[in-house]
Chains A and B, each alone.
Chain A
Amino acid sequence: MMSSIEQQSKGKKDGEIRYLTPLNIDTNKTKKYCMFQKSGIKYVDYKDPDFLMRFINEQGKILPRRLTGTSLKYQRKVAVAVKRARHLALMPYVADLLK
């Protein structure tokens, strides 16, 4: 053990930190998925504002699928459902600190 450290310190330049084992840095992020396809939901209900809250931000804006991971097919349905819920005053058009 000592020898290996000594060996390492020989090749060490000034100010460079060396580790005995490579650091385990987790670089691959968790993959996003479409929750509708995963759980087999076929219809997005506009009457359920609590569920639709997941797809809007604090100001009540619809989040892009870039962030939520929703597939295009269901993102369109989510958008329509949110707009219907807004019309029926189940959800606000504009808000502050919604969540």
Chain B
Amino acid sequence: MNHYETVFILNPVLSEDQIKETVKKYEDFLVSNGAKMVSKEDWGLKKLAYPIQNKKSGFYHLFEYTVPGDVINQLEVEFKRDERFMRYLTVSLDKHAVSWAERRRVKLKQKA
């Protein structure tokens, strides 16, 4: 079991329901493959620093989870096939990153 973090950008053309459905689908995919979700974040519609697929904005989502390493490959293949995804990035977190992520969550909670 490794600690991972995935950020992905969804197509801004999608409706709210479609986005919820997509996010749910991949969350279920992870959980059914033995993942334990640590946290989820919805950054909402954000402006991109440069256009991707001629779009200037996108819906950002962040997943933090622990999962066996071989699932990541399957997940990324699914991302690649899915046209709703504009970008994704999966990073494995070391101990410093995990503690940083925890502190970040606390900070965000205090702000909210």
Docked-complex contact A45 and B100, CB < 8 angstroms? yes
Contacts of B112 in A (CB 8 A): none
C-alpha gap A45/B97 in the complex (Å): 8
Contacts of A18 in B (CB 8 A): none
A interface: dominant SS = loop
Question: In the complex, which residue of chain B has the Cβ closest to the Cβ of A42?
Answer: B96
Question: In the complex, which residue of chain B has the Cβ closest to the Cβ of A94?
Answer: B50
Q: Give chain B's interface residues, CB within 8 Å of chain A.
A: 7, 9, 48-50, 52, 58, 60, 62, 87, 89, 91, 94, 96-97, 99-100, 104
C-alpha gap A89/B58 in the complex (Å): 10
Docked-complex contact A47 and B7, CB < 8 angstroms? yes
Docked-complex contact B50 and A88, CB < 8 angstroms? no
Residue A33 interfacial (CB < 8 Å):
no
Contacts of B60 in A (CB 8 A): 88
Q: List 26 A-B contacts (CB under 8 A).
A: A42-B99, A42-B100, A43-B96, A43-B97, A45-B100, A45-B104, A47-B7, A47-B62, A49-B49, A84-B89, A84-B91, A86-B49, A87-B87, A88-B7, A88-B9, A89-B9, A89-B48, A89-B50, A89-B52, A89-B58, A89-B87, A90-B49, A91-B49, A92-B50, A94-B50, A95-B49
